[in-house]
Structure 1
Amino acid sequence: MDIRVTPTPRLAGDIQALSSKNYTTRYLLVAALAEGTSTIYHPAHSEDSDAMRRCIKALGADVQEDDEKIVITGFGHRPVAVNELDVGNAGAVLRFLMAIAALCPDVTFVNRYPDSLGKRPHDDLIEALQAMGVEVEHHNGRLPIRIRGGNPHGGKIRVSGNVSSQYLSALLFLTPLLEQDSEIEVLHDLKSKIVVGQTLEVLEQAGIVVEASEDLMRYRVPGGQKYAAREYIVQGDYPGSAAVLAAAAVTQSDVTIHRLAERSKQGERAIVDVLRTMGVPLTHANDIVRVQGNGRLQALEFDGDAATDAVLAMVAAAVFAEGTSRFYNVENLRYKECDRITDYLAELRRAGAEVEERQSEIIVHGRPQGVAGGVTIDAHYDHRVIMALTVVGLRADAPIRIRDAHHVAKSYPIFFDHLQALGAQVEWIN
């Protein structure tokens, strides 16, 4: 379905931040890898987290859920044999489970989204798994991927972090369950180090010991460990909230979002500091962010690697800033659900924004007067692109129609419900 975004001069109201998708998927996985019963309170409900629920059930976890919590009895280090796993369009879920599938005799990950996840490469993780004694059949590093495992070995493991930190996280989930100790060395660069910090945080909560170097490029993981059954509480989600905060920043607004922890390890927490730097009036106290926007913003420069999933929302705000903004160190945006540099900027140009791309940079020449709008633009099956383009539509001169906007459900199924509650003029179109 498409969404029509009609220019909206004012937003106001209170909403509760959705629960974190990243933490939910990690908690679901470590609960499944435990040999007892774990409880996860306030889990996220999105296509990604639903994909992890579906797959851990297929691998043998018992999953019971009510409105407040999920209770999971795990399969430990012995997932059941399964022929196929369907992760939908969830890249992190795929990569985490490719590693866990190494404990299974023969699993094929199917390709249901050939124009999105089906285009994304996984070579670096495949090479690491093959070096651990796992047979992997693939199509130039892409789905469908068949894994013949059963007895992976630890030892010295190398993995590139140049494209994604998810490959490293996948190995960190797997290696504690192996008989041998493991030493993991990250080659080249490591993208999204803050997200690796989230993985390490969750592993520690699950009772797993991992010794990490200060620069997060080397790890020692003792083998023969067991995941502990625990209780987990999922914090509010900064990546999704970033788009709502950006929407409040570019309009006349009085918007409050609850459940955004001030000391969160989510890198996308940087959206608060970025908007402050851009001159947006806001407060952040007691896990509550309040934006009293006046539509006036100043340009900035920002290293986007620490806040990957908030960069598109920041760029959307910068479209209306006074001056030229630069977002650098963002090449890994090219390897997401779509090329979030080339594809996203092409749609911004159609809407009337003045933007330039480099291999690892986004340049935005702000237009405080607004953009023309009045066009139909393509979401490229990408939830982050959908949310960011919606922010731009709120300040356009004429309505913008976003194709396939239902893919926002990948991370934020009620995004448009929340915007409507704040007064935004958005409507679904068949």
Structure 2
Amino acid sequence: MKELVVNLNTGLHGDLEVPGDKSISHRSVILSSISEGTSHVHHFLASDDCISTINAFREMGVQIDLDGDELTVTGVGLHGLKEPQTKLDMGNSGTTTRLLSGLLSAQNFTTNLIGDDSLSKRPMKRVSEPLSMMGARIETTDGHLPMTINPGHIKAVKYELPIASAQVKSAIILAALNADADSVVIEPQVTRNHTETMLNQFGKDVIERDGNQIIVHHNPKLTAQDFNVPGDISSAAFFMVAATLVPNSHIVLKNVGINATRTGILDVLIKMGANVKLLNQTNSSEPTADIEVTYTPDLKPIDVTEESIPLMIDELPLVALLASRANGHSHITGAEELRFKETDRIQTVVLELQKLSIQITELSDGFSIDGSKDWRVANSSLDSHGDHRIGMTLAVAALLVDTSVQLDGEDAISISYPQFFDHLKRLCS
């Protein structure tokens, strides 16, 4: 159990470079492994989740060297993976599990995927069912891990996603690389596009987009790349929100990815009247900027609806926290997907924020929140419930109370941000 920083009257100050983007780091391992040649990845996120992806490909015969945040991958080509001699342990990583489900569906060997207790409760039918339509032969345990993927012949498909999910979309795209013809994936709303962007970096015109339709060209030639992973906006978001809410704060977060499919948290902050500026913007395939954030004493309430949820799905606990300090009533709806994350994040956010006497009500698909600055600690034992983003959200919330609080399950934060508490301490010093 970790004692959290509370009542920070001096504010957060300084510059910080947050770790590499988790979504891009995962995909850099996957695509480097199935490319031809040696890829060099800089500013890689060496978190528990991303290490699970590395270990899986090592078990399938890919040489991967990790030195700090520098990754070197000697690719084996699209058809060069080897049968693992053991079960592939996904750890806590839903991204690893779902994306590999697509790629492994097209292999000529059997794989068995396992995970920790939390991951084993997360639904896998959302990927196994569309992949089965493509010819994949997947056996789940009542829709969950453990999962067995047998050799299958992948057929081209035109598939309309029933829900907006970047992981499901990416699983289908990775399977479609090995299909017998080109495939089409249709999104109900645009979701994070790192798989498509990176595929077109590793191969020429692998992906085409026509509105909400994504065309996947089969059997592409993928060639090794040398690239930098931008800072993770989902990690930066915790400090953006902290600096917005804690008096006297002024910080600059360096080299943060601002891919348009990921910037929902910036849109929310701006709509609520926060003092946020983008500096030194780049226009590369994965655009970046330095983000300057200054304390904002009065925030407007906000209504977040289904259309914008995919642009900020991982940041919604933080949006709930922002709304808890706003001047008025806020709603977050259309976010039922939160119930299928590392925890039921709707239930967990409500349970934990109510310990700080925050007026937040659970909805079937989100939250109803009465903003107030009159918080008091009703229960000083906060709990991450094994969910990294809940843990970090509570660490930010603790900065706004004046009574000692503790966080149980703080180890979960290493899943995505091993240096989080060190970086928070640096900005608070």
> What TM-score, normalized to structure 1?
0.90
TM-superposition CA deviations, 1:401-428 (whole Å, max 9, x none): 221011011111111111111127xxxx
Secondary structure (helix, strand or coil) at the match of 2:373 reads coil
1:190–1:120 distance in 2 versus 1, CA, 3 Å: farther
1:3-402 mapped onto 2 (5 Å cutoff): 3-9=3-9, 10-67=11-68, 69-76=70-77, 77-82=79-84, 83-102=86-105, 103-111=107-115, 113-114=116-117, 116-149=118-151, 151-156=152-157, 158=159, 160-162=161-163, 164-178=165-179, 180-186=180-186, 190=188, 193-195=190-192, 197-207=193-203, 209-216=206-213, 219-252=214-247, 253-261=249-257, 264-265=258-259, 267-286=261-280, 287-302=289-304, 303-372=308-377, 374-402=379-407
Offset of 1:104 from its aligned partner? Answer: 4.3
Offset of 1:210 from its aligned partner? Answer: 2.2
Partner of 2:285: none
Within 2, Cα distance between the matches of 1:86 and 1:64? 19
1:202–1:185 distance in 2 versus 1, CA, 3 Å: closer
Offset of 1:159 from its aligned partner? Answer: 6.1
Deviates more, 1:406-415 or 1:373-382: 373-382
* 1:324–1:364 Cα contact (<8 Å) kept: yes
* 2:185–2:215 Cα contact (<8 Å) kept: no
Deviates more, 1:91-100 or 1:395-404: 395-404
1:128–1:268 distance in 2 versus 1, CA, 3 Å: closer
Deviates more, 1:137-146 or 1:64-73: 64-73
What residue ranges of structure 2 are gaps of 5+ in the alignment? 281-288
Partner of 1:427: none
Within 1, Cα distance between the matches of 2:162 and 2:168? 7
1:161–1:212 distance in 2 versus 1, CA, 3 Å: farther
Offset of 1:343 from its aligned partner? Answer: 1.6
> What TM-score, normalized to structure 2?
0.90
Structure 1 vs Structure 2: percent identity of aligned residues? 26
Within 1, Cα distance between the matches of 2:342 and 2:221? 33
Runs of 4+ off more than 4 Å: none
TM-superposition CA deviations, 1:257-308 (whole Å, max 9, x none): 11124xx215442323322322222322112222220443221122333211
Within 2, Cα distance between the matches of 1:167 and 1:67? 30
Secondary structure (helix, strand or coil) at the match of 1:177 reads coil
Partner of 2:286: none
Matched to 1:272, the amino acid is: L
* 1:206–1:227 Cα contact (<8 Å) kept: yes
Within 2, Cα distance between the matches of 1:71 and 1:266? 28
Matched to 1:6, the amino acid is: V
Within 2, Cα distance between the matches of 1:270 and 1:220? 25
Within 2, Cα distance between the matches of 1:130 and 1:260? 37
Within 2, Cα distance between the matches of 1:400 and 1:269? 31
Within 2, Cα distance between the matches of 1:109 and 1:370? 44
Offset of 1:73 from its aligned partner? Answer: 0.8
Q: CA RMSD in A?
A: 2.0
What residue ranges of structure 1 are gaps of 5+ in the alignment? 425-430
Within 2, Cα distance between the matches of 1:8 and 1:293? 13
